[in-house]
Structure formats: structure tokens, C-alpha cells
Amino acid sequence: MIQRRRFLEFTAGLTLFPLISQPSNSETVKNASQETVTLQGWDFQGIPLDQSGWETLHFLDLEENPIFNPPRQVEGGKLISSFPPFPVMIAINLLVSGFGKVYLYADNQGKGYTIADFPLNLNLELTRTRCDRVQSLINTWKQQGYTSASTVINRLNQAFFYLKKAENSSSITEQIPWCQQSLVESLWSGEEAVLAHAKYQISQQEKRPNFLFGCGFPYGGETDKAYFKEVFNFTTLPLYWRDLEKKQGQKNYEPLNQMLDWLEENKITPKGHPLAWFAEFGIPEWLKDTSFKTMKRELDLHIQEVTRYFGQRFPYYDIINEASGRAFANQPGYSSEELVELSGVTATACYQGNPQAFRIINDCCLWARHRALEQPNPLTPYQYIKACLAANIPFEAIGLQLYYPDRDLFEINRLIERFGQLGKIIHITELGVPSDTTEDENSWMKTPFGLWHNPWSETIQADWIEQFYTLCYSKSYIKAITWWELSDKGYHFWAHGGLLRPDGQPKEAFYRLKSLVQQWR
């Protein structure tokens, strides 16, 4: 299943700073203001941000969808950028010593920034926004009858105290350390708040015996299968069209049937992944470079045939994968409208082949920073799902991939809630964080990235898993969570991302997750 993952291409070789010399098809760029704005920013040691420091900064609209970067440049530690003709929020990835390296946001209390708000002291705005976001959520919960713990409130109050110190500072040298201290407190306060609230929600729930705890199929032999059965009741099997039908009209179902036999013997529920995926490894060679009309016809026939053949052996399907328009997952170069149309084809064809099938529309890169960088400008996953809903495409669940996203748990919670408000069941379909900081030569991604609290270790991986699963399990609309790979043995996708070491022995995360599942069942 490793070959289906090429999405990390967007993390390498990209910069936010080339000037755009040609008009794009992005409405943002077409309508960009001729005026420029200046942002001042420092790292939290007080050093002005250089070009690499500004690299991850991007603007978002007020629905938190990133917009394509207008022309910009760095001069003397300042970012000078053309400005769109509407209010924007700001996001940037920075190291906050004492917490980690995460994306921080500036949103001016949700109103965004207009050109009149510049020049802008970015550090101060990031600090204000984090305090405001945590306070707003705590206030909302209080109105709903839940009061956050005094430890959370005290930590947030300390963050506001440091923010006030920063606002009253007479120099940058004095101000930046206060911003740093405020962010440390508000970052921890936000995470502690959502985790405590999640635990409270779980304590008020009835048991959820039908919850799907999933993992990739245990390919590593009998020992891996034994460990798998200790924790998981759900798995994802590969249905990549290119592998399934290398020659037109000659589908090879035998490997899948063998896996399904074992799953049925052990009462483990399978999901087929994916029925449609327009990345390199999702399209058969014999179908490449075909017309849109032909692709629609062949896709419809393929999905009906596959779903009819398997019947309820596959009760769940990711009917389409990563179709919001990312370049790597849109090899034919379809428009957003065409991708939504193809999504409808997959949903209808799946129903025609198996009316009982549970249909999931799956997507990745959920914060969509790529949208600030890619042309033609794709939809964000959120916009794509909304477009599918607006087109009345029939499907049962939204699938969210959440490999370590450089966001803290508070921001992860905000994103999940945003998708949850769309009114569909949610499955967390793919998930992974590393357990080590060293190179992993047997993985596709090779180099672990990100810094959450402390450098990645088996304990930090276990902490993240325990907290993330708690957050998700507390939400009644989330019905499934799937860890992508069981083991680091052999070739795998995410660097050090398995729950078993290369020698097949469990990591700390395996036992933490097993304990949670036993407790919740």
C-alpha cells in the first residue's frame, strides 16, 4: 500500500517568494490589490525572520481557506507582499521553545486584517490570537454547562498576563520574550483544555462497541497478525485500480480474496481503498491520457464491477481519494468541477454495484497550505466536501487523513469540528506520527519531521496517539480511526510510523493504544 502515497512531494522544493509574472486562474491573484503591505516578524529569540523564516507564511480567507500567494519579497527581515482586496487571516510555522514547532495563527478576533491594519507586528498578533481562541472555546463550553479546570484557566490567565506585558513593552528586545512566554502558556492551555473536555465527554457517553479501531493490514506474518488482533477490529485493503487491472478487462482479485478470508475468520471488518484515485498509482497504464468522457465511462464500469463482485465482503469503501485537486493526485489535470463530477460517478456506481456499501469521500492535506503554492489553484479539502454536498452527491462519511500536521491538538480539534459541522459521519482514515528522529531508510518519506513538545521518541509518539485518540473518540460523529501502518518492518510509508519496531516487538504506543481500546470497549 506504500505506493499510493506521493503527497509529501509538496513539502520539498517549494518557496513562497518568487514574484508571479503571469496572471493565474486564481480569482485572488486576478483581483489582487496593487498596494503592498509590510509584515514585521521575529523568531522567539528576537532575531528578524529571514527568507526561510518567512517561507511558510500564507494568507487565508475568513473561512480559513488558504489563498494563492500574491507577489511578495523579503527585505531587511520584513515581508513585503501585495494584498488581496478582502480581509485575511495569517498562518506561519514557528518554533516556540517550551512547546514545539507548530503553525500559529493571526485572525484579529475572526475579523481578519485589511490593508489599513498594516504594517503589522506579526508576533504580537499571533500571541493575541492564540489567547483569544482558547478563551473563546472555554467561554463556549461554559455556556454549554462545562467549566474548564482551574489549572487550564490559570495557565490561560498567565498567558494573558504575559500578553499584556508584551503590549506594554517599549522595545522589540523586551517584547519578544513576553510573546514567547505567553504563547508557551496559551499553547499548553489550549491542548490541556481540549483534552480535559474530551475526557469529560467520554465519561458522559455510553460505551461504543461498534466503534471501528483500524490499522493497515498486518502483512508481516503470524506475529504481526497476533498483535493486530489484540487491538484492532477494522482494516484497510488496497484496491488501487492500476494494480487490480494491469491489463484491461483482466482484474486480479486473488490477493484480496486471500486477505478477506483471514479477516472473516477473525471477525475483522475490511474497507476497500480506494475505488478512484487520480494519482500516478491510481490509474492503469492502459487508461492514461484518455479523455474525460472515457474516464467517466470506464470508472463507472470498473466500480460497479468491483463492488458487485465483492458484495458485502467489503462493507466500507473509500469511493474516491484526494480529489480536491492537489497536483500529485490529479495527474490528468481535471478541473475542480470535473473532480466533483467524478466524485458523483463513484458514489452512484458504488451504490449500483452494492446498495448496502458505506461510502466515504477521503481527502488529505486538510489545512491546504499547498493552495498558497499550486497553480492551477485547487479547492481546499473543506471546499471540495462542501462542493460535493452542494452537488447532492450521495455518500455516508467524510474521510480525513491526519498524518502529523505541524499543528497542536487545539488546532487539530478546531479543524475536526469544522468538518464535523458539515453534518456527515467522519472517519479518520489515515494517521501516523514517528517514534524517532533518525533517518528511516525503509520508509518512503525517509526523514521524520515536526516537533511536538519534545523530539520524537517512542514515548512522545505514545503521548500523541493517546491524546489524539481521546480527542477523536469523544466526538459522537467520529465512528472510525485508522492508524496507517502496523509495523516498521520492511518497506513502509511514514518514517518510524509503525506501532511495532522493525524486529516485530511492540512500541510503547501499541500498549497505550491497547489500554485505551480495552477501557473504551
Smallest CA-to-CA distance from 118 within 95, 93, 88 is with: 88
Q: Give percent above pLDDT 70 in the chain.
A: 93
d(CA 239, CA 318): 9
Smallest CA-to-CA distance from 226 within 515, 31, 514 is with: 514
Same domain, residue pair 248 and 342:
yes
**Residue 307 belongs to domain with CATH number:** 3.20.20.80
Same domain, residue pair 288 and 411:
yes
Cell of 369: 497550505
Smallest CA-to-CA distance from 177 within 132, 129, 123 is with: 123
Q: pLDDT: is 195 or 8 the higher one?
A: 195
Position 34 scores a pLDDT of 66
Q: What is the pLDDT of residues 168-203, one digit of tens each?
A: 999 999 999 999 999 999 999 999 999 999 999 999
Burial (Cβ within 10 Å: 0-12, 13-18, ≥19) of residue 472: buried
Smallest CA-to-CA distance from 406 within 90, 193, 100 is with: 100
Same domain, residue pair 273 and 399:
yes
Q: What is the pLDDT of residues 258-293, one digit of tens each?
A: 999 999 999 999 999 999 999 999 999 999 999 999
Of 157, 183, 202, the position where a domain reaches its end is 202
Q: What's the pTM value of the predicted model, to 2 decimals? A: 0.93
Of 182, 202, 222, the position where a domain reaches its end is 202
- Which H or E element spans position 299? helix 292-310
- Which H or E element spans position 201? helix 172-204
Same domain, residue pair 219 and 317:
yes
Domain that includes residue 382, residue range: 206-520
- Which H or E element spans position 281? none
d(CA 399, CA 320): 10
Position 29 scores a pLDDT of 45
Same domain, residue pair 174 and 262:
no
Residue 17 has pLDDT above 50, yes or no: no
Q: What is the pLDDT of residues 396-405, one digit of tens each?
A: 999 999 999 8
Position 500 scores a pLDDT of 98
d(CA 15, CA 55): 6
Of 202, 227, 249, the position where a domain reaches its end is 202
Same domain, residue pair 188 and 214:
no
Same domain, residue pair 185 and 216:
no
d(CA 36, CA 226): 61
Q: What is the pLDDT of residues 294-343, one digit of tens each?
A: 999 999 999 999 999 999 999 999 999 999 999 999 999 999 999 999 99
Same domain, residue pair 166 and 238:
no
Same domain, residue pair 254 and 118:
no
Per-position DSSP letters for 204-253, written without gaps between them: HSPP-TT-EEEEE--TT-HHHHHHHHHH-SEEEEE--HHHHTSBTTB---
Same domain, residue pair 109 and 248:
no
Same domain, residue pair 211 and 289:
yes
Cell of 39: 509584515
Average pLDDT over residues 157-176: 97
Going from the C-alpha of 34 to that of each of 41, 115, 118, 164, 289, the distances in angstroms are 23, 11, 15, 35, 40
Q: What is the pLDDT of residues 95-117, one digit of tens each?
A: 999 999 999 999 999 999 999 99
Rounded to 5°, angle at Cα 512 from 510 and 518: 100
377 — pLDDT class (breaks 50, 70, 90): confident
Domain count, the chain: 2
d(CA 372, CA 105): 15
Cell of 254: 486473488
Same domain, residue pair 154 and 269:
no
